[in-house]
Structure 1
Amino acid sequence: MLRRVGIVLLVLAGAQMAFSQAAFLAPGERQSNIDSFEFVWKTVMEKHWDPQLGGLNWQAVHDELRPQIEAAKTMNQARQVISSMLARLKQTHFGVFPGEVYQQLDSSGSSKTAAGADTGAGEAGPGIDLRILEGNAVVTSVEPSSPAAEHGVGPGWQIVRVNGAEIAPVLRSIREQFVNSTLVEFRLTRSVLARLQGPGGTTVRVEFLDGADRAVSLNLDRAQPRGKIVRMGNMPPGYFWSEWSKPRRDIGYVRFNEFMEPEALSKTFEEAVNGCRDCKGFVIDIRGNPGGIGGLAMGVAGWFIDQSGVRLGTEYLRGLTINFVIFPRAEPFRGPLAVLVDGCSASTAEIFAQGLKDVKRARIFGTRTAGAALPSVITKLPNGDGFQYAIANYISEGGQPLEGIGVTPDEEVHPTRRQLLAGQDPILDAALAWIQNQHK
């Protein structure tokens, strides 16, 4: 199953308030709201993974709220009725949001399914990755030979403006919408990355604060991302890459940007594991990894599990249960294993990390993940609003859901701009230190 992170959660309640319309509705608009109410109710009834809805009398909910949607005089009132209906489910990934927001998502190229994450993977860019550190957009890595690298941009540089637009107000607005949401780091990061990206061959003007806090304004070319272009289904094209190395002579390290390209990913792990038979430990870096093909979580885990029948967790769809059973390799790596995550690790990446944590095979380092493990669909309602609904539930092997919760690292490490400017990677450093300590 293909599952990159869904692009919106119920978190757009804040946006609903921002876009609420107080004007009274025309008869045709009121009918479109009634049609939207019926569409949402029927969709949940027919597509929710639990036909019994946990014992909820869905028909009774419909009959109770139908008069309220008929009486709704404004768009905001109509949304409140539909939201109230969905709130009876007491589950995440079910919600409605204003048409204005839906149009922004749709026009930005975001897919209407969880299989098409807002990754921007097919967009050209200056070769910068970033995170929101201490409230600011900070460069965390720069691709070698990229336009940003050629201009001397480095980790720790702060992004102040993109094409003349200040970043700070954008971050404040999104943070307000995603208050108390595990998705906040993901959305903040993606919002800035989306502004840096665009068609190949174009330029983007970026104003930075460099390592000495001096303002530096650069016109950066947008180049195609590195890696192999991949396509699947109706998803927008993306780019896949994977690499392995030894950050220390006796520790292996694998990093890849998505759970895609089974053959290429398997080859990387085969080379890494075979090249690290005598290593003291192994690190898998899935920071910023938005997910991909769900089955690859089991395949990758098999390089580090030597027992049959071990599960990462279970996914529940209507009429179907999928056990994420690990496929052990003949000669897996059996030494200490560390997995690196952050708030931009999502979906399959979360299933992988939490599963290995639950079966006590890996120690997790970094920051809490995005909490976006469910495959969901976003579609347009008759009244123009957006509607998101989940089509499955996922429970980790330890018995806990990941949706709206995320993976909590065994060792939380929060990088700072100062550390990046000093050339440090505190999350990786913590993992390497732990591995070394296992041999004392």
Structure 2
Amino acid sequence: MSLALVAAPSFAGTVEAGGGAVVDAASSTRDRARMNQRVFDRVWGEVRSQYYDPGLHGVDWDAARRTYRPQALAARDDRGLYAVLDEMLDLLDDDHAGAASPAVASRQDALRQRRAAVGLSLRPAPEHPGDYRIEAVRRGSPAEAAGVQEGWRLRVLQDGWSPDQEVVAGQAMAMTFVDEAGHERPLSLTPVVMEPVPAFVADRSRPGVVVLRVEGFEAGLGRWMGQELAGLPPETDLVIDLRGNPGGRLMEADAVLSCFLPRDQVWATRTPRSGRRIALSTAGGCGDLEAPVSNPVAVLVDAESRSAAELTPAALQEAGRAVVVGERTAGAVLISQETRLPDGGRLTLSRADFVTSGGVRLEKRGVTPDVEAAVTREDRREGRDPALEAALGALAARERGGDLAGPGPVV
């Protein structure tokens, strides 16, 4: 999740002279409670009727409603409401089940647009409920200029900024960080308008190698990859970098696989709430390519590769079509869909189970790379990438007739 400019709805009352302030405050409180009720009931009902596991992993969902609905209705702002929703959804023990507030949903929608930002990528810090871990700091950003470091934690305080609030260019935000030594670092960051980070980037700076960096499985990925692969000499090595990739569209994952696997090859099975198993097979959506390419392929993954960024390397690994390099992936591989909530927020919910063509369920397991290679924060700060070097070495070993040609384990 990147911090960006949003226009979040406001429930604050208008303060006027005399008795008007009391009336407006009371009206605002009632409006807030009504909206909270609509949002909560929509989330609870969607889980009850649409979750892929009709048994809800053994969770007593009626009891959850009795516990959390009063808390949700009493929430005074989005921060409080969505904290209650997330606590309830956490009962499912499912990384795909989550609710994004209107401000967060707006930032997600504007991810590939020119927008106001401070240059931080955040992920919830489960060891500190409510807080966020700094996943990345963008170069040239206000966060970098202020000295914020990857691995720090953003504390979400009652009187400080939180991701449920909007980000406005030029409007300073008081943020409290905790560094890796445990020291609090209160900082004031002022967002600036920044250009978006491209979703897909091709690096051709190394002779005989093309590195395809994929930030997410977003619309247009298959078409873009087909364009990059068209006319590529078959001896050129390919590295597909899926590190930090949160996943995305299932049809784009299929399109990527179609670049490398024969058409109609079964690569997974999904099982929705009905229990009917549905085979997933390549549909041939890799741009204008008439046939899959034969180039040697390595796929880079890490602990933050999720969902489609796990099922894709798993399918290529099982087919013996690619060597997977890096760290074990996150193990968040259920098939999910999103639902807009009445206040503009968003619910993400798992709608189907997933197993590979080899019968392996990746959820809570992840993909085990053929070649283990970690990148430390110090490596990144110094501009080193030992995982990429390991991928290039693995491809060179294959060309020399090494022992990495076969598929590796995915459990």
- Tell me, yes or no, whether TM beats 0.5: yes
Q: Tell me if 1:222 matches 2:192.
A: yes
Higher relative contact order (CA 8 A, sep 6+): 1
Amino acid at match of 1:106: S
1:6-405 matched pairs, under 5 angstroms: 46-49=49-52, 92=94, 105-106=100-101, 108-110=103-105, 124-127=116-119, 142-143=138-139, 146-147=140-141, 158=149, 167=153, 198-202=167-171, 221-226=191-196, 241-262=199-220, 265-274=221-230, 276-305=232-261, 307-319=262-274, 321-328=277-284, 329-373=289-333, 374-375=335-336, 390-405=350-365
Give the 3 Å change call, closer, same or farther, for CA 247–296 of structure 1 in structure 2. Answer: same
1:379 CA drift (Å): 9.6
Give the 3 Å change call, closer, same or farther, for CA 285–304 of structure 1 in structure 2. Answer: same
User: Would you say the 8 A contact 2:246–2:305 is kept in 1?
Assistant: yes
Question: 1: CA distance between counterparts of 2:190 and 2:109?
Answer: 22
Amino acid at match of 1:271: Q
1:337 CA drift (Å): 0.9
3-state SS of 1:375 partner: strand
Select which of 372, 378, 393 maps to 1:412. 372
Question: 1: CA distance between counterparts of 2:66 and 2:377?
Answer: 53
Give the 3 Å change call, closer, same or farther, for CA 205–437 of structure 1 in structure 2. Answer: farther
User: Would you say the 8 A contact 1:351–1:396 is kept in 2?
Assistant: yes
Give the 3 Å change call, closer, same or farther, for CA 47–322 of structure 1 in structure 2. Answer: same
Question: 2: CA distance between counterparts of 1:197 and 1:69?
Answer: 30
Question: 1: CA distance between counterparts of 2:218 and 2:137?
Answer: 22
Give the 3 Å change call, closer, same or farther, for CA 69–358 of structure 1 in structure 2. Answer: closer
User: Would you say the 8 A contact 2:137–2:150 is kept in 1?
Assistant: no
Q: Tell me if 1:433 matches 2:403.
A: no
Give the 3 Å change call, closer, same or farther, for CA 261–107 of structure 1 in structure 2. Answer: closer
| Percentage of matched positions with identical amino acids | 24
Question: 2: CA distance between counterparts of 1:426 and 1:47?
Answer: 43
Give the 3 Å change call, closer, same or farther, for CA 293–390 of structure 1 in structure 2. Answer: closer
3-state SS of 1:248 partner: coil
3-state SS of 1:223 partner: strand
3-state SS of 1:291 partner: coil
1:169 CA drift (Å): 6.0
Question: 2: CA distance between counterparts of 1:208 and 1:196?
Answer: 20
Question: 2: CA distance between counterparts of 1:197 and 1:294?
Answer: 30
CA RMSD of aligned residues (A): 5.4
3-state SS of 2:202 partner: strand
Q: TM-score, normalised by structure 2?
A: 0.59
3-state SS of 1:308 partner: coil
Bigger shift: residues 118-127 or 329-338: 118-127
Q: TM-score, normalised by structure 1?
A: 0.56
Amino acid at match of 1:314: T
Amino acid at match of 1:375: S
Question: 2: CA distance between counterparts of 1:221 and 1:93?
Answer: 30
Give the 3 Å change call, closer, same or farther, for CA 295–75 of structure 1 in structure 2. Answer: same
Between the two proteins, the alignment pairs up a number of residues equal to 325
Amino acid at match of 2:193: A
Structure 2 counterpart of 1:232: none
Unaligned runs of 5+ in 2: 2-36, 72-86, 180-184, 401-411
User: Would you say the 8 A contact 2:246–2:306 is kept in 1?
Assistant: yes
1:375 CA drift (Å): 0.9
3-state SS of 1:314 partner: strand
1:348 CA drift (Å): 2.0
Question: 2: CA distance between counterparts of 1:298 and 1:358?
Answer: 15
Structure 1 counterpart of 2:84: none
User: Would you say the 8 A contact 1:338–1:363 is kept in 2?
Assistant: yes
Give the 3 Å change call, closer, same or farther, for CA 388–435 of structure 1 in structure 2. Answer: closer
3-state SS of 2:116 partner: coil
Q: Provide, for residues 132-187 of structure 1, a one-character-per-residue CA deviation record: whole Å limited to 9, x for no partner.
A: 9xx996775745xx44599598xxx72587xxxxx3767xxxxxxxxxxxxxxxxx
Q: Provide, for residues 207-230 of structure 1, a one-character-per-residue CA deviation record: whole Å limited to 9, x for no partner.
A: 899xxxxx9x89564324426xxx
Question: 1: CA distance between counterparts of 2:295 and 2:318?
Answer: 17
User: Would you say the 8 A contact 1:203–1:222 is kept in 2?
Assistant: no
Give the 3 Å change call, closer, same or farther, for CA 223–141 of structure 1 in structure 2. Answer: same
1:334 CA drift (Å): 1.3
